[in-house]
């Protein structure tokens, strides 16, 4: 573990770096870049050889959801760049930057396995590079600020960034848009890949690419789920069995609302009542249990929104469809039982779960 030489803000100093040095990774099938200039050199070489680059931005702690995006990128490009960077500016001052899972060695091993798989796939591209920059590389001028009114060079995409997730996480999309603008500028990818799982992020990034005339194609990959429907997320490791079971209420609620739409209902009340009914029922069941049995949560929002503007809808236009999304705040467990699987952090880490379904247009 090495720390950057220059002292950044308190938030930034919590940032941890990969334990392996680039030289120890030379035997891998991809190159690891910490800096911009060598990656630009590679980009130029690839461009001159008429190769295409797909960029998959991640914060590491890789799971199947990330890998499915990388597979998609490899099927559409000759070369894939995966960035791994836990971006400090998208975490609010009270959020989980320091506890965000960092699993560099496991991530690199997964990418190496994936490259073996890709080399057996006919016509597929491969992971050519990992970009794992330091905070100093990504924020060369000022310490990265997580304050709402903090100084820095930021990209803001409003009003999209203020809605839904942005309502309770005011710096989140400013941080996401800023880091993605930097990554897009560094990598110069033909295509950039984002997961449907973070639907608001996809809308913000598409808007940024359009409004700033960024020369790249934004591609969206489907949400990868566990067998029971739970959307995969790097933060799920904190849930443990009890909160995981209860947290599935979000997916079930969205599915119920989707069922209402698919059965022909178009009004907000009809569609969202189905979802709200489920979260209310699960919460009241939990409240009736003892502290050693229950997992409490708060519904942050259940939204039915326009796919382009994210404005809340009273009625869905069936020709356009809608985005149905929600967020649950899983509270820390109040009391744990000995031997219980409480997840990483012993059930003490609050977990925000988000999920969404696309209500498809009907002709």
Task: Give the residue numbers marked as catalytic.
Answer: 66
Taking CB atoms within 8 Å and a gap of at least 24, the contacts of 208-217 are 208/155, 208/157, 208/177, 208/180, 208/181, 209/184, 211/157, 212/155, 212/181, 214/181, 214/184, 216/55, 216/184, 216/189, 216/190, 216/191, 216/192, 217/190, 217/191, 217/192
* Part of the chain binding ligand AMP (CB under 6 A), chosen from 46-54, 150-158, 165-173, 216-224: 216-224
Cβ-in-10-Å burial (0-12, 13-18, 19+) of 76 comes to: middle
* Part of the chain binding ligand AMP (CB under 6 A), chosen from 40-48, 62-70, 152-160, 296-304: 62-70
- Of 75, 111, 308, 354, which is closest to residue 193 (Cα–Cα)? 75
* Part of the chain binding ligand AMP (CB under 6 A), chosen from 63-71, 134-142, 210-218, 292-300: 63-71
Rounded-to-integer distance, Cα 197 and Cα 199, Å: 6
Rounded-to-integer distance, Cα 70 and Cα 193, Å: 8
In which residue are the tokens 């149905």 written? 324
Judged by CB under 6 A, the residue of 134, 224, 236, 325 near ligand AMP is 224
CB of residue 53 vs ligand AMP: minimum separation in angstroms? Answer: 17
CB of residue 72 vs ligand AMP: minimum separation in angstroms? Answer: 10
Is 234 among the residues that bind ligand AMP (CB under 6 A)?
yes
Judged by CB under 6 A, the residue of 43, 66, 191, 294 near ligand AMP is 66
Is 163 among the residues that bind ligand AMP (CB under 6 A)?
no
CB of residue 220 vs ligand AMP: minimum separation in angstroms? Answer: 8
Judged by CB under 6 A, the residue of 231, 271, 305, 328 near ligand AMP is 231
- The structure tokens listed for 151 are 């100084």
Is 197 among the residues that bind ligand AMP (CB under 6 A)?
yes
Is 59 among the residues that bind ligand AMP (CB under 6 A)?
yes
* Part of the chain binding ligand AMP (CB under 6 A), chosen from 10-18, 64-72, 97-105, 333-341: 64-72
# residues near ligand AMP by CB under 6 A: 17
Strands (E), the chain: 31-33, 53-58, 79-84, 126-131, 191-195, 217-221, 297-305, 322-330, 351-359
Is 65 among the residues that bind ligand AMP (CB under 6 A)?
yes
- The structure tokens listed for 7 are 């002292």
Is 89 among the residues that bind ligand AMP (CB under 6 A)?
no
Is 221 among the residues that bind ligand AMP (CB under 6 A)?
yes
- Kindly tell me which of 58 and 325 has the beta carbon lying closer to ligand AMP: 58
Q: Which residues contact 157 (CB under 8 A, 6 or more apart)?
A: 173, 177, 204, 207, 208, 211
Point out which residues bind ligand AMP (CB under 6 A): 58-59, 65-66, 68-69, 194-195, 197-198, 221, 223-224, 231-234
């Amino acid at each position: 573990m090495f720390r950057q030489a220059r002292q950044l803000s308190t938030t930034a100093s919590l940032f941890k770096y990969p334990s392996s040095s680039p030289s120890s990774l030379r035997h891998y099938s991809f190159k690891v870049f910490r800096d911009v200039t060598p990656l630009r050199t590679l980009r130029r070489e690839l461009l001159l050889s008429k190769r295409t680059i797909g960029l998959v931005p991640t914060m590491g702690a890789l799971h199947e959801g990330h890998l499915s995006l990388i597979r998609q990128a490899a099927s559409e490009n000759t070369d894939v760049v995966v960035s791994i960077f836990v971006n400090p500016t998208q975490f609010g001052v009270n959020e989980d930057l320091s506890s965000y899972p960092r699993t560099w060695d496991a991530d690199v091993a997964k990418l190496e396995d994936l490259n073996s798989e890709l080399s057996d796939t006919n016509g597929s591209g491969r992971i050519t590079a990992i970009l794992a920059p330091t905070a100093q590389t990504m924020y060369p001028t000022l310490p990265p600020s997580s304050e709402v009114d903090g100084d820095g060079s930021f990209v803001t995409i409003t009003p999209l960034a203020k809605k839904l997730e942005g309502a309770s996480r005011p710096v989140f999309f400013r941080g996401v848009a800023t880091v993605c603008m930097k990554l897009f500028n560094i990598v110069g990818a033909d295509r950039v890949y984002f997961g449907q799982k973070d639907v608001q992020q996809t809308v913000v990034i598409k808007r940024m690419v359009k409004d700033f005339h960024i020369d790249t194609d934004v591609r969206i990959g489907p949400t990868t789920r566990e067998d029971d429907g739970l959307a995969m997320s790097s933060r799920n490791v904190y849930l443990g069995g009890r909160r995981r079971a209860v947290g599935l209420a979000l997916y079930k609620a969205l599915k119920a609302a989707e069922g209402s739409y698919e059965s022909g209902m178009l009004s907000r009340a009809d569609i969202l009542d189905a979802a709200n009914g489920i979260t209310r029922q699960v919460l009241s069941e939990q409240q009736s249990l003892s502290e050693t049995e229950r997992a409490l949560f708060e519904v942050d929002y259940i939204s039915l929104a326009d796919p382009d503007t994210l404005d809340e809808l009273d009625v869905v236009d069936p020709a356009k469809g809608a985005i149905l999304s929600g967020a649950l705040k899983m509270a820390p467990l109040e009391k744990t039982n000995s031997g219980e699987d409480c997840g990483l952090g012993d059930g003490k880490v609050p977990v925000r779960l988000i999920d969404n379904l696309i209500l498809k247009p009907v002709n």
